[in-house]
Structure 1
């Protein structure tokens, strides 16, 4: 905005508190900010570089704690921020400091990087947090940007793939394309790269229906990581719940994200965002003052009875207070914005137990869940919970209300243990194959409540599960003390990569068997990006700070046999629209009769003694499918064996010990089962 068109005063007749944020209407912009305890709110405008202040004035009106004002002639691209005036009384929870320029929590775009400096802190670094710091933080702060809402979506709309047909591909936006040879170099690591022909072609070929992106909300690079030469790669350090991370926009404009989503939708692929509404980048009371803390610390954050201190159920220092109606409104406005304005198809909620915390702990009837369930927009999109946090009673697998689905870490751990050869895992395997009914078969919840996975961003990759007995996290600079300790991995005798062709072949065979077990289980399968071609992180199971080739996908190292195996497995699961997934855990829809039959290698039903046989490492599952007939699945985690088939002729369609895994042969009587493999057979009888 050049100096010749600077606003002179607010147009109070057009000012509105109906929508919070900066809303451009074609003639000017309405600015609105919630702060219940502020004494006045000062709007500051900057030039296009974000370095020189061009305008400053108090928002003229306030109602219900929403301060607002309308400026004619101010439009898209305008850089702005707030200085909020109020009491400095940390013991009462108030940390107002007008020396600190604050980001608009509802900004749709953000420009510039956060430059770490002690002036970003509301108190004097080196003293306690009670002494107010008077230095101006504006030179070190990114700026909020008035966004242009126009975009030609044409006929684009949410895809709403049925859960029974959903296959999730968890990916990091940047890491997915940074090393992709067929993505233009300038587009790598951005939404332009995500929407490229090369990425979409791979996802379509694989059979993926839904991409789940690690956080793309604007986030902060942690000071302590930068000091160690590292970066916050995963992005679970949210600064803004409405603006995409600026580094992911090659053009710097939000329309680039819209264009990528539009292209993915045209290819039939949904987009889910991993979102972090449990805490923010400001940390605890000793953290910086960047936005929420300076706007109204006592409203936005959960505080201890001693109001000076933050309540911390997440391990990150602070927690958003969703019990406050205006904080709840901000979160819901954010979710609806991503669905309605950005055409996102759903969300995965990080540490979602925090969102259900009330005065007595986790409550599945908490206000957040109840509000989402009755919301006409949000109740229709995909909702996935990470069903835990670190607070007391935080582990809540199976405890979330419909229509939430949940990450199933029991499935992750049991599949790893079964294929590693642990004793007594056959009963546990049967639970996971059936959709984990102990956890989910209640309260009218379907089997698709379970999001099944073997590996995700937090932990070993699939290939590293088969290559390392213990994490190799030295590169994280924490003396190897970070990351999961219970990985249930197995190097098969040699740590790391090897030139031993036989060992590599054994790892590949087990990887295919594990992927087959995931795909054939009831529930919703989720595959971590790169696991389809044997991606390694060199044994790092906590690569949150590795924005480099440790975490990036090496497309030139693709194991094509593994890619082809997953493609064929997913095609079999989809079955020309007749998915294997069953909403009622394999029970008959009308009479509740079992449609799953568990078989011993003798060909007989499993007896109680068989279930108690800890040395058994082979299990058969016969599924009566309404369209495909009888489907027999055999899971052999031991050596070569034989299985007595049920009566009749059986068409052999999947053999994970072979390349390709798809096959077509007819058997009757006894079937030879190669070691460490999954077999699938069909019968119309």
Structure 2
């Protein structure tokens, strides 16, 4: 940032409350009060470009936002933009955009509020430089650093331009706000019809690009199916290719997607083939050539309509000389690249769809991660032999072991709201294996099915989801769109499915930066929600994906299924590799951008603070560490942003990332690495289930279940399930392909460790019955929650009422020490409702050591 005295740094200062002063007087540390930074959202009355060149253009000095010569002019072309061309001397310069003749609202690089200065290198001899500012995105740029790209075409007069094919009308201006060389613009204002367009550079036709990115290329044609449809324009400044995608209305019909699209009189076969026009499909022993087709929302699609009734018949795509799988296949012939033609719209679970369990807000969720196989494969599950390790086994009721409920009845007794299934789509490996090696994204895994007939397999998966719903439990799918089993899965169609840089750690990471790959992922997600009534998705290595795409997928799903309250979250990291495009990927720092799509991320920072590393012997806070109490306090509050904003953070790994509590998935145990019980015993904690080790498990679980956000835990954690067989901790650290002896849930552990199970059950019930533990907004956390750190002990006083934010009715205490502490409760009559053993009903203000203690106001 330039530091001239004329430029003022504006900061809002929060007042110090009496509660804060009291805490300081008592020698306590208190979590900083959250604050917001205001920005102008109304149209500016003036826009200028103060910078180091101001004095050279006649201003009294540099960095003067009120200088007349630096003022941009409001355009009259209907775009709302401001622009001006200035004659600048050669040299290295810098500038920003300032609104209303002062520094109160200013924007720098990448449209950031109070962002970095924008560097400008004017060539020898000087140059006329055009500056442009957009008041909607706050992007300010110049035609040296960035091209001024417009979509000039036959539709521009419909948008308010004086004429069509007007390259100088910025109503159709494409912008590169993140500086990645890709310029984009979206609009819903183009009426229904067939239109043509080219990319114009520099507000003239002196440089322009048509089909294929050629300067002499033909006009690019696109169709808007209905007025109000979203049309997305994307210009690649390297290839000069302008692509246009039109959002289709939600319709499962033939015109909306790819794959094998069935009707009783003929099936339409479609596949994306951007590199090869020699495309065919073989069905019923006859091969049919596919022709290039103009499908709204897609590019480079080839299509053939084959007459006849091909229901449940196999088909085989071929591209060039290679047989290839259909990335959109709804069913496949196991062990082959053949798809099966399906009439999925006609398939429903037996008895029809039951109502989905209601949920008021996402913070009400309690998520239980499980494997289709592991949960019921052991005979102790009580599940019928033919159903063990199958989809149907997950929902068989009435099962017990030694008098204790197992299976779905156990989940109901425990009180979880969602199950999260490890990969259940078609994968390459044979079970037992977790299945993180996808082959066919839209096909249920046949090894988890009892049936061979295609329709029966679809109906079986539907029936599993339906039975969960009947029992009050929602279903989340673990999806692996970041990589495939190998490059052979899609490579013979086109290499454009895969990243040039390996990001997943498996050698075959998917590149959703390609619009057609991104669309495939979105279509797959929509298919699972529509056909199988899925309630949400957990993304493996969500950090491989561009956050802009993830945001678009989530917003699309929420718009198409507005009544579902879909749960969408994932891992905000890649496969342990450096990503040259990290700024565009999902990280903690880009999570605020995803707030509008209700997308959350796993809070690995809070996890590691609570339990230490996932494979080491360091125990973190649950082991008594007092060096990280501020991080515990932050996680307890739902890891809220310091300043409420939906812009990316400067630090991609900032642990204060949540715009909304629903964006943090709190956990200490998952399928990866050591589960919580094995972590505790591996670290040498003694005492067993009834001693210190068992108490530490309850302490960690209690923290997860009483922190703001969404709690998550792994199958068997609630009764100390161990994956250590014969003392082999190394296998337990990465048991993805270990046998059932390691991974299968052993239901005898529930009766053996019933006290731990009761604790989990009690805390889940307490969470459900305590609104203060499920605050729904950043503002609620800020106003209704006061958190104090005293040595190693972290205490939060919380109000459940937005209309009485300081009338705290719940107090939560985390005490990792070996001794009990006395808690200063607010005025009133209080009851202790949770201690180290679970539910209690007692008076007093002591909080036991190595325990979560909860007090509620009577």
Q: Same fold (TM over 0.5)?
A: yes
Residue 259 of structure 1 pairs with residue 463 of structure 2: yes
Unmatched 5+ residue regions in structure 1? 1-14, 46-53, 86-96, 114-140, 284-288, 304-310, 357-363, 469-489, 494-500, 599-605, 611-615
Of 438, 445, 452, which aligns to 1:245? Answer: 445
Residue 567 of structure 1 pairs with residue 761 of structure 2: yes
Residue 620 of structure 1 pairs with residue 789 of structure 2: no
The CA distance in 2 between the partners of 1:186 and 1:36, in whole Å, is 45
CA contact (8 A) 1:214 1:235 kept: yes
The CA distance in 1 between the partners of 2:326 and 2:856, in whole Å, is 58
Residue 451 of structure 1 pairs with residue 665 of structure 2: yes
How do 1:140-289 residues align onto structure 2 when only pairs under 5 Å count?
141=336, 143-149=338-344, 150-152=346-348, 154-156=352-354, 158-159=356-357, 161=359, 162-179=361-378, 180-197=380-397, 198=399, 199-221=407-429, 233-252=433-452, 253-283=457-487, 289=488
The CA distance in 2 between the partners of 1:325 and 1:317, in whole Å, is 21
The CA distance in 1 between the partners of 2:471 and 2:797, in whole Å, is 35
The CA distance in 1 between the partners of 2:692 and 2:555, in whole Å, is 47
Task: Tell me the equivalent position of 2:850.
Answer: 676
Task: Tell me the equivalent position of 1:106.
Answer: 328
Task: Tell me the equivalent position of 2:578.
Answer: 391
Residue 412 of structure 1 pairs with residue 607 of structure 2: yes
The CA distance in 2 between the partners of 1:163 and 1:112, in whole Å, is 37
The CA distance in 2 between the partners of 1:441 and 1:542, in whole Å, is 38
The CA distance in 2 between the partners of 1:508 and 1:458, in whole Å, is 21
Quote the offset at 1:441 in angstroms: 5.2
CA contact (8 A) 1:29 1:72 kept: yes
Quote the offset at 1:336 in angstroms: 0.7
Task: Tell me the equivalent position of 1:546.
Answer: 738
SS of 1:466's equivalent in the other structure is helix
The CA distance in 1 between the partners of 2:265 and 2:396, in whole Å, is 35
SS of 2:713's equivalent in the other structure is strand
The CA distance in 1 between the partners of 2:567 and 2:675, in whole Å, is 25
Q: Residue by residue, what CA displacement relative to the aligned partner does 1:5-54 show, whole Å, maximum 9, x if unpaired?
A: xxxxxxxxxx9665311122234433222212223223234xxxxxxxx6
Task: Tell me the equivalent position of 1:369.
Answer: 551
Quote the offset at 1:677 in angstroms: 1.8
SS of 2:722's equivalent in the other structure is coil
The CA distance in 2 between the partners of 1:680 and 1:454, in whole Å, is 20
The CA distance in 1 between the partners of 2:419 and 2:521, in whole Å, is 22
Of 612, 615, 625, which aligns to 1:422? Answer: 625
The CA distance in 1 between the partners of 2:343 and 2:307, in whole Å, is 15
Of 553, 566, 584, which aligns to 1:381? Answer: 566
CA contact (8 A) 2:588 2:601 kept: yes
Moved more, 160-169 or 565-574: 160-169
CA contact (8 A) 2:624 2:817 kept: yes
Task: Tell me the equivalent position of 1:478.
Answer: none
Unmatched 5+ residue regions in structure 2? 1-252, 295-299, 400-406, 612-619, 647-657
Distance 1:581 1:398, change over 3 A: farther
CA contact (8 A) 1:406 1:451 kept: yes
CA contact (8 A) 1:164 1:579 kept: no
Task: Tell me the equivalent position of 1:649.
Answer: 829
SS of 2:502's equivalent in the other structure is coil
Quote the offset at 1:74 in angstroms: 4.1
Distance 1:158 1:337, change over 3 A: farther
Quote the offset at 1:594 in angstroms: 5.0
CA contact (8 A) 1:17 1:32 kept: no
The CA distance in 2 between the partners of 1:146 and 1:370, in whole Å, is 29
The CA distance in 2 between the partners of 1:200 and 1:441, in whole Å, is 40
Distance 1:301 1:74, change over 3 A: farther
Task: Tell me the equivalent position of 2:840.
Answer: 663
Distance 1:644 1:23, change over 3 A: closer
Distance 1:553 1:503, change over 3 A: closer
Quote the offset at 1:398 in angstroms: 4.2
SS of 1:550's equivalent in the other structure is helix
Task: Tell me the equivalent position of 2:183.
Answer: none
CA contact (8 A) 2:270 2:301 kept: yes
CA contact (8 A) 1:160 1:345 kept: no
Residue 536 of structure 1 pairs with residue 722 of structure 2: yes
The CA distance in 2 between the partners of 1:39 and 1:683, in whole Å, is 71
Larger Rg over CA atoms: 2
**TM-score of the aligned structures, taking structure 2 as reference length:** 0.59
Task: Tell me the equivalent position of 1:40.
Answer: 278
Of 457, 462, 484, which aligns to 2:676? Answer: 462
The CA distance in 1 between the partners of 2:469 and 2:337, in whole Å, is 32
CA contact (8 A) 2:797 2:808 kept: no
The size of the alignment, in residue pairs, is 539
Quote the offset at 1:263 in angstroms: 0.8
Distance 1:269 1:548, change over 3 A: same
Q: Residue by residue, what CA displacement relative to the aligned partner does 1:324-379 show, whole Å, maximum 9, x if unpaired?
A: 332222111111101111111111112112211xxxxxxx4x24423542552267
CA contact (8 A) 2:326 2:337 kept: no
Task: Tell me the equivalent position of 1:471.
Answer: none
CA contact (8 A) 1:448 1:581 kept: no
Quote the offset at 1:182 in angstroms: 1.8
Distance 1:441 1:192, change over 3 A: farther
The CA distance in 1 between the partners of 2:313 and 2:703, in whole Å, is 52
Quote the offset at 1:467 in angstroms: 0.8
Q: Residue by residue, what CA displacement relative to the aligned partner does 1:166-225 show, whole Å, maximum 9, x if unpaired?
A: 11111111111111532111111111112222422111111111111111121112xxxx
CA contact (8 A) 1:398 1:406 kept: no
SS of 2:441's equivalent in the other structure is coil
The CA distance in 1 between the partners of 2:271 and 2:442, in whole Å, is 14
CA contact (8 A) 1:35 1:296 kept: yes
Distance 1:439 1:248, change over 3 A: farther
Quote the offset at 1:235 in angstroms: 1.5
Distance 1:553 1:502, change over 3 A: closer
CA contact (8 A) 1:174 1:190 kept: yes
Task: Tell me the equivalent position of 2:517.
Answer: 327
Task: Tell me the equivalent position of 1:342.
Answer: 532
CA contact (8 A) 1:22 1:107 kept: yes
CA contact (8 A) 2:422 2:478 kept: yes
Distance 1:530 1:27, change over 3 A: farther
CA contact (8 A) 1:372 1:378 kept: no
The CA distance in 2 between the partners of 1:451 and 1:170, in whole Å, is 12
Q: Higher strand share goes to which structure?
A: 2
The CA distance in 1 between the partners of 2:289 and 2:424, in whole Å, is 30
SS of 1:580's equivalent in the other structure is helix
User: Bigger relative contact order, structure 1 or 2, given CA contacts below 8 A and separation 6+?
Assistant: 1
The CA distance in 2 between the partners of 1:195 and 1:81, in whole Å, is 35
The CA distance in 1 between the partners of 2:643 and 2:711, in whole Å, is 16
Q: Residue by residue, what CA displacement relative to the aligned partner does 1:448-505 show, whole Å, maximum 9, x if unpaired?
A: 211100111111111101110xxxxxxxxxxxxxxxxxxxxx2215xxxxxxx66752
Quote the offset at 1:81 in angstroms: 2.1
Distance 1:326 1:654, change over 3 A: same
Distance 1:236 1:438, change over 3 A: same
Residue 301 of structure 1 pairs with residue 506 of structure 2: no
Moved more, 404-413 or 551-560: 551-560
